[in-house]
Each structure stands twice: as structure tokens, then as C-alpha cells.
Chains A and B, each alone.
Chain A
Amino acid sequence: MASTLEKAKQGDAQAFAELYGMYAKDFYRFALCMLKVREDAEDAVQDAALSVYKHILNIKKDDAFKAYFFTVLANECRARLKKREIQKTVPLDDFVPALADASAENLSLSLELQQAVSKLKDEERTIVLLSALAGFKSGQIADITGLTSGGVRSKLSRSLRLLREELSK
């Protein structure tokens, strides 16, 4: 029986959508944390979906779908951030996350952490989010960010340090 990825590769859009659906929330959260503006995040995920669908033949293994999607999505986000930086169009603290029904204490910590993450600069945020949300190893992140894997490790370690500092304030 052909795997979902195989079906998607043969042009089965339904199969593609199923694969997408498995990680849709992760993709959106990632884009949201990167771009901080809901509309932009939506746009980035949509563009990534189109691009992945177009290049789905590049994906060799089933479990690579998520990784490939994240790779494309990270690039989409970076492109938007770059444009934004040039044009200075979006205020940095635009995004205020919706409140969840979690316990007050948990929520406050989570919010704090999320805000700390959003204070990181773009590249650092990319690395941290790819590491935390996508579970990528330094080599994979290096591929996306164009750094060396050693550089990714260094920057990750440094970013986490900054986060700890921020939280301890």
C-alpha cells in the first residue's frame, strides 16, 4: 500500500493535505512566533504549502515531510522578515497571544517565555524555534540558516542563555 507521501507525490492533493494536517498547528505556531502578525503567518504557511506541494518529489522519506515543510517555511518567514526590516513596516510588539485556559501560574510563565523568545533577534529566534518546535539538529538548522553547524550550536547555546537571563529578570 502506497504511503501517504507516495500518494501525494503522485499528485494526490488529498494525501498532501492529510500530511499537512498532521503538523498544521506546529507550522502555524512557528510562523506566528517568527512573524508576530497573524496575517503574515497565514500567508507564509500558505506560500510554504504551495511550494512544498510543487516540490514534493524532492522529499525522499515519509518522515522528511515535516522537516522539509519547516525548511521551506523558515525560508518564507526569513524572506518576510527581511522585507519588513528594510521597510520598517511592522511594529515589533504587534502580536499579543490569545490567552489560554491554563492555570494562571503556568500561563504567566508561558507568556513570559514566549515574550522572551520574541525578543530574540530574527536569526536567534529561528534557531531556537526550529530546535524547540521542529526538533531539528544543528546540522539541519545550519542548512536552513546558512550557518555552520558549529555556528548554530553556539548561537543556540547563546540564545538560550539570553532567554534564561530574560526570565530571571
Chain B
Amino acid sequence: MKKKDRDLLENIKTSLNTVSENEKLPESLSQDSILSLVEGKEQSKKNNMSGKQKRATAFATVAAVFVLCVCVFFAHRAAKNPAAVVPTPKTTAVQDNTYGDAPLYKSDYEAIEQRFVKYAKKIAAEQKIMYGLDGVTGAVDGFSKNAEKSTVSEANGAKQNETSAPVTDGEPTAEGGRGGAGEDDNSFSSTNVQVEGVDEADIVKTDGKYLYVTSNDFDYIKNSKGEKTNISNEGAVKIVDIKNPAEMKVVSSVLPKTKGQSIAVREIYVNGNNLILICNVRKLDENGNYYWYYYDNNTLVVVYDISDRAEPKEKGRYEQTGSYLSSRLIGNRVYVFSNYDVNVYDEETKVRENCIPKCGENGKLARIPAEDIAVMRSTDRTSYLVIGSINFYGDELSPTSKAVLGGGEESYCTADTLYISNSVYDYELYTQQQLTDEEITVDMGRTEIFSFLLNEGRIEYKNYGTVSGVVNDQFSMDEHNGYFRIATTVGWNGYSIVTVLDKNLKRVGELTKIAEGEQIYSVRFMGDTAYVVTFENTDPLHVIDLSNPKEPKILGQLEIPGFSSYLHPVSDKYILGIGQDRNEEGEMTTEYENTKLSVFDISDPMNPTEVSTLVLDGYSAAQDNHKAFVVLPDGSYMIPLNLYYYGEGEGFRDISRSFRFLIDENGQIISGNSYYNERVVDIYEIPVDEKEEETTTEAEEVDYDEYEETYYENDYYNTHYTYYNDIRRIVYANSVVYNIGDYYIEAFDLESAERLGEVQVTDSKKFFDRDMVYYYSPVYEYNGAEIPTESEVTDTTEEVETSLAETTTVAVTNG
């Protein structure tokens, strides 16, 4: 963390203390009051109780009953098997998948509507008791005014096209469409995906001839007074011609036109001559405003024919309710997953109307047929997992969709099966199931898994299962030889579990109590073996044998300082970890952020060893996002590193670079080139040297403002802003490395690291200006970028005039 940031935090703390000094701790929160509050649990009858105490008592009664059950349960288990450490399959409730809550397909609109209306009434009643609010009617004010306009056609039970469209001329290629841009000597990197042959969307794609980049461009909505109120669109996709890296050109800018909706491009796919944009859209009211709350979010998929890169043509669009979660591209279809949270605080007619997810082509949305909606038995679910699929290759999108009233989060997808995890936190189920103390970590909950068969666009609900704990990310899930494996962490300071489930998502075996007191930082399944990194102070890498699905066991573990938050298989012998270097106490070893590369030798699973490490300055997005990690066609790797820090006596350093490295046959990391703009570094370091010469005797602190001034006065900064160009992704194509920055793309020669050229994809002035509206920022990854204040940026002369809620596709020729 930067010094000025630390100082500011310290300041905040002090000032809160100063201001709050007279803000006396209320009597109700004194030590004694809290004592009597918690004691209220034991004294189940007490006259003149406060509301809080009443609640505590009611709770204590439930708890007492529950404790009794647990005791009986324990006694029963202890008698049966005194030595049991791991719960035996028959006695633990988590062993079976029921929880009384598997999804049902026998529902109809009326039943679902009834259910929501009932639930909404219950919520309203609770609100009234807890907050003295006038229930539903109170909540409606302000909401109903802006509730969705009837752009939605209400074709009840409109039939969805269930059959997959016939594949037209030729098959699309799985790995990013080499076909479209020519076949000659075209070598380029593609998005680092979890499962081979299953493409994942990202903010940048390439076909070797062009880069396709979601920019940080955006436009404002203005109200009648001309004030910027919201962002109407953001993330226009720029198609960049890279035939000559020294003179890259933006040949077109692609942004779907929307009416009555704001749009944000989230991720893209490129396959052959198809460009697929996945966007979030949200409804706007007549004043051009939207609620920042997410009820009105829809996911929009737009397919473009980019045979002519300069003039992309829209082929069709598909929209479904819910915020975009993730997506996959398999064969000629894109599968998109969203989470739709029904607004149960709305008035009854609206709840009734909105409680069924919708989908459809070209802006015509209709309810998903009731037979395609699965409903969880427990009635407190208000979120839907919505899965849609479109054929981007033919003339027809032929969309199909399914929904589960239950919700979804992380997704793992093979070529034919989709698994979606959803974490659930509910007290009641725990008490019903009489779990042990460790298992009642309500704050962490459990994870339910929905599986679906995917076949040429047909989405078939398959199974439902549940495990304790929550998953870390998509890499926590895997399918191998007909078994589904999932790694979860239970509880706060809890422990981890690897569970093996069969095709029906019934539990086959589990390994529990892995690394107590720690939590999972990364997981990678490789065939019959799982590698799990947990962390609290040090990083144990656990090697887990899954060859016998009934009895997974730990083969070996390795404890080293620091942790890996991404694991990448290098070969049968080595696995690469990307994370951070920490000391034995788990503290950062460097004042600024670092990135640690570790190569683990896993050839002896009983005895994994760390054969080489490399600690690099700066934070790499690859620590938290596998898509920022790049595998080059020659087998070398690249990661982005963004460093900005202030070191006493060192001054300021700000370098965004791409770093290339190789892992040789002995597992050694061999450093390659770094690709960055040297001019920036030079400018930045000059004043530091001068300062150091001046202050020879004292280790005087370098004055930040002085340097900032020096920096901002510099012409280069004013003209290029490269200083803030944090690297979001790296793309490799035909011996050239492209740093995809926040608003610049820079090209470098792979071998010499010579800087070849640059092209601007985001209007930097707008980019900085955007912070004035900061409720809504789904695309822009901040990466710790510093954004200059308004005064530091030269005035934006051209105000962006956007016609209300209407955006256009513009073809721009740059240079």
C-alpha cells in the first residue's frame, strides 16, 4: 500500500475518534447491557424485557432445543463409534442430497406466482414488525414509478425453440476461430480456459490479425438540467487491425443499440467471422434514470457478422432476465448464465408479473415456459438461475432456455455438462439437520450444485446435490471419469473438504477436516489428483489422491511461506503456483505488493517440493483471474504486473509491464523479457535521483506533492497519460506482445522487447472523468489505478451528447 494511502487511513481513524469522542457509547451498548443481553439467553423468563431481549429469548429457546438435539445426536454417535473422527455416511445429514430441497419441475405459473405473492406478504409483515414500516405499500413508493415499462411482450408460455438448429456451412473452430482471418503462419494466444475445447468469454480476444477489446469508453445520460445522471452505455468493443504492429488502427467500434435501456458490454467471444458481445442491460425510466439496484438487470447477447471488420453487421440478439454470471462457448453455441433476483418488495401485481424469468430474441421477451422452470421445494428462494443458449453460427439464433428458482454463482462446464454452484445460508436447515458444532457455521453455509446436460443447444436439467461449505472459484469444481469433485471451505477459520459425487450428484466419498483454521486459496484437479492450497499464515499445498472416489486421501503436503491463488499445470511433473510471498506470520514480505511464482515438483505425490520460486514486484491480475495468465504457443508464459508504490529513499515507482517466463525441464523458472514503456519509468525516476543527491545527510522523506507536480507538469503525461495505463490483459500474436491497458494498447517485439507502437482504444479524458458517476461500473477493472482529480486532467472540451437511452454503432477509422 502506498504511503499516502496509509496516512489517509490513519487520518480517518484518528478523525473518527476525534469526532466520535463525544458520540458516547449508548447505554444499551455498554459492557453491562451487552452482558444482560447475552445472558437473556439463559434466563429464559424475565419480565419487562426489551424487544431485543424478547428476540434473544425466542432465539435461546430454539437454541436450547437444538443444543439438546445435538447432545442426543452426539451421544448416539459416540456410543456407536467412539473413535469416529470423520462422520460416518449414514449418520450425517449432509451425506444425502435431500435437505428436503431438490428442484421440482412440476410447476406452473400460477403456483410460482402464488408462492412469490405469499413470500412477499411474509416479508412485508416481518418488515412491519421489525421496522415499523407499512409493509408492502410503504416499500412501493418510489419503486412502482420506475418499475419496468411494458416493453416486454407478455406472450404467456410462448414456445421456446427446443430443437437445435442444423449446423450450417462448416464447423466453427473451438479455439477462437482461426478461420476468419486467414490461415497463413498465424500464431496467437487464446484465453486461458479451465477445460480444453470449452471457450470462456473475456474482455479481449484475438484471431492473430485483429484484436477485439472491450474499451473503457462510456457515455452519460443527462437530465433536463444537463447534469450527468447515469452512464448510458459503456465498454464499446474496438476492433484493432494489427497487421502492422507499428501502426495499429482501430477499424471499428461496436456497441449494440438499445432503446430504453442502458448497456454495459461485459465480455466477448470471437469465433471465425462471428463477434459475440455479452452485455448487461437495465431499464431506464422516462427521465433516463435507473435504479442502481440490480432487479432490473438483464443479460443481452448480440451476435455480429464481422466478415468486414470495418463494418460489423448485427445478426441477432438474445436477452434473458438476470445479471450476467458467466458463459461458455461450445461448438457453435454460446451458453450464458444469469442470476435473476425477483423484487419481492414490490407491490403484489408487480411481484406476480415479475416473478417468472423471461427471455427472447430481438427485444421480444416472453416468459420462460413453466415446464422449463425448476422450483426448489423450500419457499424462501427469490433468485433464479437462468441459462440460455444461442446458435451464433447459422442464420437463426434458435435460443433455448431453462431456469431454476434457486439461484447460481460459480460455473464449471465440460463439453457436455454444466455444473453451477450456489451457496445457501439458512439457519433453519441446520437446526433441522442436527449438525455438529463445526458444521453449524451459519456464516459460511453450504453449497448446492445443479447439473445440466448440454447438447447442441438443448439444456436438460440433470441433477441436484449439496455439500457443506462454499467454493472458492470455478477451479474448485471438476469432473473426471464420471465423478464430480468439489472443494469447499467450511466456516470462518474453519476447514476444507474435498467431496466426490457421482453422476447423480450423490455423495460417494469425502475427505474432510483439511487444514483446520485455514481457507482454500486455490484448487486444481488433474486427473485422479487434486492440488489444494490453503492459507492462513503459511501455504500448505495438499496433494489429494482421488483414485478411489470412496476414500479420497491426502498423499502429501508442503508448507511454505506465502500462498498461491492460481495453480496451472505445467507437465506431469510440475505445477505452477501464482500468488504472493509472505513471511512466516503471513505478512507481506515487501512493502508494496508482490507476485510470487512457485514451481512445485509433484512427481512424488507423497512428497511435493518447491523446486524454484521467483518473487516479482507488483500485483498481477493473474493472482485473481486465470484469464490474465497467458500461455504462448511456444510454451512460455506471461503475466501482467502493475506496480505503483512509494518507498522511502526510493521515491515513487510506477511500472506496468508484461513479464515473460519459461519453466525448463528441471522445473526452474527462467526469466524472460519484460515489456513496458521505458519512457514513463525514466521520467518518473529522474526527480528521485535529484532529490537523493540533495539530501545526503538525512533520510528525509520525499515530498509526494512535489513529485506529483513534477510529474503532471511533464508534457508526456499531458499528452499520453500512459502513466495510468495499467495492463488488464496480455495478447500474443505473430511474435508481437500486446499490452492491453486501461485505454492504450502497446505493441512490443517478443524477442527484443522493443516497443513497436501504440493505439488508443479508450478516450482517456472520459475515462478519468467517469468517476463522477460511481454507482455503476461493471466493466472497468480498477487494478489499483490511480485516477487524477478533475483539475489535473485538462478540461473535457467536447461534452458527450447522448440522446436519451439510445446508443449507436459507430464505425471509426483512426489515424
Instruction: Point out residues on A near B: beta carbons under 8 Å.
Output: 13-14, 16-18, 20-21, 24-25, 27-29, 32-33, 38, 42-43, 45-46, 49-50, 53-55, 57-60, 64, 68, 71-72, 75, 83, 85-89, 97-102, 106-107, 109-111, 113-114, 117, 121, 128-129, 131-133, 143, 148-151, 153-158, 160-165, 168
Chain B interface, number of residues (Cβ within 8 angstroms): 79
Among A45, A86, A111, A131, which residue has its beta carbon within 8 angstroms of that of B19? A111
Is B157 interfacial (CB 8 A cutoff)?
A: no
Give A152 Cβ to nearest chain B Cβ, in Å: 10
**What is the total of A-B residue contacts with beta carbons within 8 Å?**
201
Among A14, A58, A117, which residue has its beta carbon within 8 angstroms of that of B35? A14
User: In terms of DSSP, what is the predominant structure of the interface of chain A?
Assistant: helix
Contact B29 A46 (CB under 8 A): yes
Among A99, A106, A158, which residue has its beta carbon within 8 angstroms of that of B782? A158
Contact A102 B18 (CB under 8 A): yes
Give B131 Cβ to nearest chain A Cβ, in Å: 7
Contact A24 B15 (CB under 8 A): no
Within 8 A of A (CB), among B1-46: 1-2, 4-5, 8-26, 28-32, 34-35, 37-39, 41-42
Contact A60 B16 (CB under 8 A): no
Instruction: Pick from B138-146, B264-272, B551-559 the stretch touching chain A.
Output: B138-146
Contact B345 A28 (CB under 8 A): no
Is B200 interfacial (CB 8 A cutoff)?
A: no
With A18-B31, A58-B493 given, is the CB distance from A46 to B21 under 8 Å?
no
Q: Taking CB as reference atom, which chain A residue is nearest B40?
A: A50
Among B37, B52, B443, B621, which residue has its beta carbon within 8 angstroms of that of A75? B443
Contact B9 A128 (CB under 8 A): yes
Contact A117 B12 (CB under 8 A): yes
Instruction: Pick from B101-109, B202-210, B783-791 the stretch touching chain A.
Output: B783-791
A34 to B619, CA, bound (A): 29
A152 to B307, CA, bound (A): 41
Between-chain CB contacts (< 8 Å), 10 pairs: A13-B42, A28-B26, A50-B59, A54-B41, A54-B59, A86-B345, A88-B142, A98-B20, A155-B782, A157-B786
Contact A55 B38 (CB under 8 A): no
Give B800 Cβ to nearest chain A Cβ, in Å: 21
Q: Taking CB as reference atom, which chain B residue is nearest A33?
A: B16
Contact A163 B8 (CB under 8 A): yes
With A16-B38, A121-B775, A157-B784 given, is the CB distance from A60 to B493 under 8 Å?
yes
With A55-B441, A117-B12, A128-B12 given, is the CB distance from A161 to B29 under 8 Å?
no
Contact B26 A42 (CB under 8 A): yes
Is B327 interfacial (CB 8 A cutoff)?
A: no
Contact B619 A153 (CB under 8 A): yes
B22 / chain A contacts, CB cutoff of 8 Å: 98-101
B624 / chain A contacts, CB cutoff of 8 Å: 148-151
Give A62 Cβ to nearest chain B Cβ, in Å: 13
Contact B20 A29 (CB under 8 A): yes
A17 to B39, CA, bound (A): 10
Q: Taking CB as reference atom, which chain B residue is nearest A117?
A: B12
Within 8 A of A (CB), among B467-518: 491-494, 517
Give B384 Cβ to nearest chain A Cβ, in Å: 18
Contact A113 B493 (CB under 8 A): no
A111 / chain B contacts, CB cutoff of 8 Å: 15, 19
A60 to B494, CA, bound (A): 9
Give B590 Cβ to nearest chain A Cβ, in Å: 14
Contact B789 A100 (CB under 8 A): no
Could you say which of B15, B25, B493, B621 has the most chain A C-beta atoms within 10 Å of its C-beta? B15
Contact B28 A13 (CB under 8 A): no
What 4 additional pairs, Cβ within 8 angstroms, besides A33-B16, A50-B41, A153-B593? A25-B20, A46-B29, A87-B127, A158-B787
Q: Taking CB as reference atom, which chain A residue is nearest B13?
A: A132
Q: Taking CB as reference atom, which chain A residue is nearest B441?
A: A58
With A13-B35, A157-B784, A165-B789 given, is the CB distance from A24 to B29 under 8 Å?
yes
A18 to B16, CA, bound (A): 23
A58 / chain B contacts, CB cutoff of 8 Å: 441, 491-494
Give A148 Cβ to nearest chain B Cβ, in Å: 4
Contact A68 B492 (CB under 8 A): yes
A43 to B138, CA, bound (A): 22
Contact A161 B786 (CB under 8 A): yes
Q: Taking CB as reference atom, which chain A residue is nearest B587?
A: A137
> What are the 8 A-B residue pairs with the smallest beta carbon separation, nearest first?
A110-B15, A21-B31, A154-B782, A17-B35, A150-B624, A100-B21, A98-B22, A132-B12
Contact A53 B38 (CB under 8 A): yes
Among B492, B625, B771, B783, which residue has its beta carbon within 8 angstroms of that of A162? B771
A25 / chain B contacts, CB cutoff of 8 Å: 20, 25
A88 / chain B contacts, CB cutoff of 8 Å: 141-143
Contact A17 B34 (CB under 8 A): yes
Could you say which of A14, A58, A60, A168 has the most chain B C-beta atoms within 10 Å of its C-beta? A58
What mask results when residues 135 to 177 of chain B are scored 1 for a CB within 8 Å of chain A, else 0? Answer: 0001101110000000000000000000000000000000000
A106 / chain B contacts, CB cutoff of 8 Å: 18
Within 8 A of A (CB), among B766-791: 771, 774-775, 781-787, 789-790
Among B4, B39, B139, B519, which residue has its beta carbon within 8 angstroms of that of A86? B139
